[in-house]
Structure 1
Amino acid sequence: MNTTHLSIAGGIAHLIWDNPPQNRMSPGVMTGFENAIEAIKSDSSVRVVVFSANGENFSLGGDITIWPGVSPEEMAIRIQKSLARANLLEELPMPVVSAVQGKCSGGGFEYVLRSDVIIAERKATFRHPEQTLGVFTLLGGVHRVAERAGKTRAMKWALTAEEVSATEMLEAGVITEMVDNGKALERAMEWARELADGPTHAHAAHKELLRLWSAGGVPAADQGISDLTRKIFGTRDAQAGIDSAVNALAKGVERPALKFSGA
């Protein structure tokens, strides 16, 4: 059974987990995920990625049925590989938009945190359940929440393993938008279509600046601006955008909205 699907059309890659009702991250789901990421990376037409899951829940996390009997040393090796796999989504140069419904917990939540835009339905809930098993957020969830919402909230949610509502996640700045139930994927696709028509290289530059900032703060991000400037100002999109602005200024009219080529 195929538990991960990928379609690419109109500059949008749609990656879907399909292992309901819990959408557990089984070996099959993870193999399919890696293959999908490789396909996205090798397709130059992709300008935005939508990440969603079929069924009533986004994902309740990893497949813990394969954990018993694994030595700590072997588990450390497996988790390191799992962490690198999750980071593949975060490292994509194009924007990633996630659509979340139902329960989103454990590893599923940690994968969603790799997204640039998170759209959640009103009844969606988010949870770090790891401490109830005596372990911790193995794929870097606690510090990615802290980056978005601050250390206090991140620690509270990790210590209590409580289910956190989409409303609270929106107020905390963890998710981007909350929509009516059944509308998350529709709204994610609206975002995707708009981003797919946008300046692809500029989107990638903003992702890179935030990555540098996350790793080394404002000084590190500032140091990256020079190299990014060289890249961006050599693109046709930037040249078209600047020419359009200069022409509009010369004519005393408003700049027209541009549909960028991604080149």
Structure 2
Amino acid sequence: MALVLREEPSEGVKLLRLNRPDARNALNTALRKELASHFQELSSDETARCIVITGDDKAFAAGADLKEIVDDTPVEIMNRNVRRFWNVISSCPVPVIAAVRGVALGGGCELALHADIIVAGENARFAQPEVCVGVMPGGGGTQRLVRAIGKYQTMKLVLTGEPISGRDAFTMGLASEVVPDDAVLDRALEMARKIASLPPISIRLTKEVTLAGADAALDTGLLMERRLFEMMFATADQKEGMNAFIEKRKPDFAGR
């Protein structure tokens, strides 16, 4: 049975569904490998304009599969090299939307944090409960959270392990939108179709410079932004987009 189901619900939109329902989509090595393989393929797929990742109505992902690692030594944990799977996702040039219903715990919350946009259900549950089982976040939770929601909200999550609702996640800046649980995937796909309809070079470079500039000095980020803005005037899509706006018609973006 495939651990990740891949669909194309509309042109340019790729949907990845985590598929370990009996384990609440816990992230074992096999699932991580399969997910990373899909992201690797889609990163070089010119037809991929936006990726949506989701689980099911009960779980986005319930974190690492503890049964797989409970008896590991530090060297065995190091040799698993889980970081390589995360790196494939974080380096994906295609915009990624996480559609989160149910629980997003530990590694599941960290997986959502690798997305560019998070659409959360009102009753979704986000948490970093690693301290409750004697460890700590290891997939970027401490670092990505503090950049997303600041020190004090992050410390509350990582030091207590307590869950927060999708609505609370939105309030603190962890989610882009919060919607009724049964509308999460539809809203994420609607947003993905909108992104997929826009000029792909512009979208990819906008994602690239936003992420690169986040950890750079402001002047460096502004310089990168300015140079990429200037470069966009070498694309056919810039001419098409501006002329379509002037002529009051729908643009036809070709990705050139």
Q: Which residue of 1 aligns with 2:56?
A: 54
After TM superposition, the structure 1 = structure 2 runs for residues 156-235 of structure 1, keeping only pairs within 5 Å, are 156-229=156-229, 231-235=231-235
Q: Which residue of 1 aligns with 2:70?
A: 68
DSSP-derived class of the 1:6 partner: strand
Runs of at least 4 residues off by over 6 Å: none
Q: Which residue of 1 aligns with 2:34?
A: 32
Q: Provide the C-alpha distance between the structure 1 equivalents of 2:226 and 2:214, rounded to a whole number of angstroms.
A: 18
After TM superposition, the structure 1 = structure 2 runs for residues 46-195 of structure 1, keeping only pairs within 5 Å, are 46-78=48-80, 81-195=81-195
DSSP-derived class of the 2:143 partner: helix
Q: Which residue of 2 aligns with 1:252?
A: none
The alignment of Structure 1 onto Structure 2 pairs a total of residues equal to 254
Q: Structure 1's 141 and 257: CA in aligned 2 closer, same or farther, altered over 3 A?
A: farther
Q: Provide the C-alpha distance between the structure 1 equivalents of 2:78 and 2:227, rounded to a whole number of angstroms.
A: 36
How far 1:24 sits from its partner (Å)?
0.7
Counterpart code for 1:102: G
Q: Which residue of 2 aligns with 1:262?
A: 255
The answer (yes or no) to whether the contact 1:143–1:154 under 8 Å persists in 2 is: no
Render the CA deviation track for 1:203-235: whole Å, top value 9, x for unaligned.
Answer: 212211222222223233123235423542222
Q: Aligned residues: percent identity?
A: 26
The answer (yes or no) to whether the contact 1:130–1:137 under 8 Å persists in 2 is: yes
Q: Provide the C-alpha distance between the structure 1 equivalents of 2:90 and 2:219, rounded to a whole number of angstroms.
A: 22
Render the CA deviation track for 1:18-58: whole Å, top value 9, x for unaligned.
Answer: 10141111222112112211221232111000111134111
Q: Provide the C-alpha distance between the structure 1 equivalents of 2:217 and 2:103, rounded to a whole number of angstroms.
A: 33
Bigger mean CA offset, 81-90 vs 152-161:
81-90
Q: Which residue of 2 aligns with 1:19?
A: 20
Q: Provide the C-alpha distance between the structure 2 equivalents of 1:219 and 1:165, rounded to a whole number of angstroms.
A: 37
Q: Provide the C-alpha distance between the structure 2 equivalents of 1:152 and 1:192, rounded to a whole number of angstroms.
A: 32
Counterpart code for 1:258: P
How far 1:103 sits from its partner (Å)?
0.8
The answer (yes or no) to whether the contact 1:18–1:55 under 8 Å persists in 2 is: no
The answer (yes or no) to whether the contact 1:4–1:29 under 8 Å persists in 2 is: yes
Bigger mean CA offset, 205-214 vs 191-200:
205-214
Q: Provide the C-alpha distance between the structure 2 equivalents of 1:220 and 1:132, rounded to a whole number of angstroms.
A: 40
Q: Provide the C-alpha distance between the structure 1 equivalents of 2:5 and 2:231, rounded to a whole number of angstroms.
A: 33
DSSP-derived class of the 1:43 partner: coil
Unaligned runs of 5+ in 1: 249-254
How far 1:84 sits from its partner (Å)?
2.9
Render the CA deviation track for 1:54-113: whole Å, top value 9, x for unaligned.
Answer: 3411111111112133221231343xx322312322222121111110111110110110
Render the CA deviation track for 1:146-192: whole Å, top value 9, x for unaligned.
Answer: 11111110111100101111111111111011111211111111001
Q: Provide the C-alpha distance between the structure 2 equivalents of 1:115 and 1:168, rounded to a whole number of angstroms.
A: 18
